[in-house]
Chains A and B, each alone.
Chain A
């Protein structure tokens, strides 16, 4: 039962059931939709970018506690960061979920999602928000090349 309690720890249940920044952003200048065909989870991420700075970030979603908590914590952490900083945090977060290495420092609340590494079928739930954020910021395409 340790694994399951570690996965569904208090912070995850808190953010999973009462997510922060969970609303449409009418004045966003970037947005994207993400979809997980395995479980039918949907998310819409909104960004207000000022050049490379994330002035504001919000989302709406229909998903499990893991994906909702991940989106909620992501929105808290990314507010005020630059896109380059966001990209670095994502890479560290991905490393946290997919390896057995000790957790890197500087991930803050995202460490609460470390339990997902014991549940390979749920890694996609935890990263859906992040991939959608990257789509919204176009980090997957042109920006990556310019940066």
Chain B
């Protein structure tokens, strides 16, 4: 399937793309922050609330059984999406951030002690730094950081010196949210496993762009959010190997995660429910299921090919602009382009192109340690999704011409 042939029809499936900005067509190039939503997904959420809204895993009545079936159906769809071995290794959470906090808290409590080390990389999102830093403050453990080279790729030559017998976990992003670098996570996992160190992969950016296979990666934890792959905000997934989930204490206490409660003793529920306290975001899980079905009908390879064309065209067009510098030129890249123009602050650029209907992200992208290592405060980031077009790349580049005019350079 060739996406470009059907692009008009595909764009019709995303109602938000029809929005006009100051009378101009919206060029939504902020997909790494969140993607727009297909009508099919919006309908699935409305249908749930209109027809089968009930609490899950509780009632014996018709609605509750229907809601439970739909919710557990979403879990099975997610299991298939990431190719997990068992559906009980798939825990619904609020998003990537909550998933990482869950692991840092629960795994940390069980396995991380004073003097231990946690390995991160220079390019992690704050959500894959702060939970680990908090764990260090609680436990007395320390962070070790894998550096990034000038192309925005991980510098892995020194991995043997970074890993040690004190390393308790490695947490690495699959795709950099600001640079687009696709990291060789399989290689990192295999190196870590030689020393029996478990690895968490932050898949927030990966889910929309590349095929995820947790069994092939052999990762111990994989975390992602629905809203960055055309699903709703408010739901995400923690995949964890069963052996870890069995050893980890619960993260939150509440309904659904228990078998039996007395004031003397609590018996926990089986997996995955042990880690899902309280009423989950049922409608959002069902919406995510619908979004994944929508993606599947478009074909994964076709999306990747279309996004590659957009990425290459965008890089080519941006090169025409004087004084433009790219940040992140890795060989293996997702459709995310980060750049600076002269010494003009990214926020000024973002405000100016917004007047031409172009939505880009500007600033540090929750990557302050990475920006510090480059000696910059931020970049302009254009990030593409399956519905973007060549014309939108042109709209961005034409809008950028006006930045120079305004700054009279």
Q: Which residues of A contact B (CB under 8 A)?
A: 1, 3-5, 7-8, 13, 16-17, 38-42, 62-66, 119, 122, 125
Asked if B190 is at the interface (CB within 8 A of a chain A CB), the reply is no
Identify 9 new A-B residue pairs, CB closer than 8 A, beyond the known A8-B407, A39-B363, A42-B377: A1-B355, A4-B355, A8-B348, A16-B348, A39-B362, A40-B364, A63-B377, A64-B346, A66-B347
Q: Chain A residues with Cβ under 8 A from B371's Cβ?
A: 40
Q: Chain B residues with Cβ under 8 A from A41's Cβ?
A: 347, 377
Closest 4 CB pairs of A and B: A64-B345, A64-B347, A40-B364, A40-B377
Residue of B nearest to A1 (CB): B355
Q: With both chains docked as a complex, state the minimum distance between the C-beta of A77 and any C-beta of chain B, in angstroms.
A: 22
Q: Chain A residues with Cβ under 8 A from B345's Cβ?
A: 39, 63-65
B407 touches A17 (CB 8 A): yes
Q: Chain B residues with Cβ under 8 A from A63's Cβ?
A: 345, 377
Provided the pairs A40-B371, A63-B345 are in contact, do residues A4 and B351 lie with their beta carbons within 8 angstroms? yes
Q: Chain B residues with Cβ under 8 A from A5's Cβ?
A: 406
A4 touches B352 (CB 8 A): yes
B348 touches A65 (CB 8 A): yes
B330-365, CB < 8 A from A: 344-348, 351-352, 355, 362-364
A119 touches B351 (CB 8 A): yes
Provided the pairs A65-B344, A122-B347 are in contact, do residues A38 and B406 lie with their beta carbons within 8 angstroms? no
| Whole-angstrom CA separation of A116 from B149 in the bound complex | 38
Q: How large is the interface on B (under 10, 10 to 19, 20 to 34, 35 or more residues)?
A: 10 to 19
B377 touches A62 (CB 8 A): yes
Q: With both chains docked as a complex, state the minimum distance between the C-beta of B4 and any C-beta of chain A, in angstroms.
A: 31
| Whole-angstrom CA separation of A64 from B406 in the bound complex | 14
Q: Chain A residues with Cβ under 8 A from B348's Cβ?
A: 8, 16, 64-66
Q: With both chains docked as a complex, state the minimum distance between the C-beta of A58 and any C-beta of chain B, in angstroms.
A: 20
Main secondary structure of the interface of B (DSSP, over half): mixed
B377 touches A122 (CB 8 A): no
Asked if B154 is at the interface (CB within 8 A of a chain A CB), the reply is no
| Whole-angstrom CA separation of A3 from B348 in the bound complex | 13
Asked if B378 is at the interface (CB within 8 A of a chain A CB), the reply is yes
Residue of B nearest to A63 (CB): B345
| Whole-angstrom CA separation of A16 from B371 in the bound complex | 22
The answer, among B351, B378, B406, B408, for a CB contact under 8 Å with A40, is: B378
Q: With both chains docked as a complex, state the minimum distance between the C-beta of B362 and any C-beta of chain A, in angstroms.
A: 7
Q: Chain B residues with Cβ under 8 A from A4's Cβ?
A: 351-352, 355, 406
Counting chain A CB atoms within 10 Å of each CB, the highest count among B344, B346, B347, B368 belongs to B347
Residue of A nearest to B363 (CB): A39
Residue of A nearest to B406 (CB): A8
Q: Chain B residues with Cβ under 8 A from A122's Cβ?
A: 347, 351
| Whole-angstrom CA separation of A41 from B371 in the bound complex | 12
Q: With both chains docked as a complex, state the minimum distance between the C-beta of A71 and any C-beta of chain B, in angstroms.
A: 13
Q: Chain A residues with Cβ under 8 A from B351's Cβ?
A: 4, 7, 119, 122
The answer, among A1, A13, A39, A42, for a CB contact under 8 Å with B347, is: A39
Q: Chain B residues with Cβ under 8 A from A39's Cβ?
A: 345-347, 362-364, 377-378
| Whole-angstrom CA separation of A13 from B403 in the bound complex | 12
Q: Chain A residues with Cβ under 8 A from B408's Cβ?
A: 13
A sample of 20 inter-chain contacts (CB < 8 A) reads: A4-B352, A5-B406, A8-B348, A8-B406, A8-B407, A13-B406, A16-B348, A17-B407, A38-B363, A39-B362, A39-B363, A39-B378, A40-B364, A40-B377, A40-B378, A63-B345, A63-B377, A65-B348, A65-B407, A122-B347
| Whole-angstrom CA separation of A1 from B368 in the bound complex | 32
A40 touches B363 (CB 8 A): yes
Q: Chain B residues with Cβ under 8 A from A66's Cβ?
A: 347-348
Q: Chain A residues with Cβ under 8 A from B346's Cβ?
A: 39, 64
Q: With both chains docked as a complex, state the minimum distance between the C-beta of A124 and any C-beta of chain B, in angstroms.
A: 10
| Whole-angstrom CA separation of A17 from B377 in the bound complex | 16
B347 touches A8 (CB 8 A): no
Residue of B nearest to A14 (CB): B408
Residue of A nearest to B342 (CB): A17
Q: Chain A residues with Cβ under 8 A from B362's Cβ?
A: 39
Q: With both chains docked as a complex, state the minimum distance between the C-beta of B391 and any C-beta of chain A, in angstroms.
A: 20
Q: With both chains docked as a complex, state the minimum distance between the C-beta of B61 and any C-beta of chain A, in angstroms.
A: 47
Residue of A nearest to B371 (CB): A40
| Whole-angstrom CA separation of A13 from B348 in the bound complex | 11
B407 touches A125 (CB 8 A): no
| Whole-angstrom CA separation of A108 from B339 in the bound complex | 36
B355 touches A3 (CB 8 A): yes
Residue of A nearest to B407 (CB): A13
Q: With both chains docked as a complex, state the minimum distance between the C-beta of B390 and any C-beta of chain A, in angstroms.
A: 25
Provided the pairs A40-B364, A40-B371 are in contact, do residues A8 and B377 lie with their beta carbons within 8 angstroms? no
Residue of A nearest to B372 (CB): A40
Q: Chain A residues with Cβ under 8 A from B368's Cβ?
A: 40
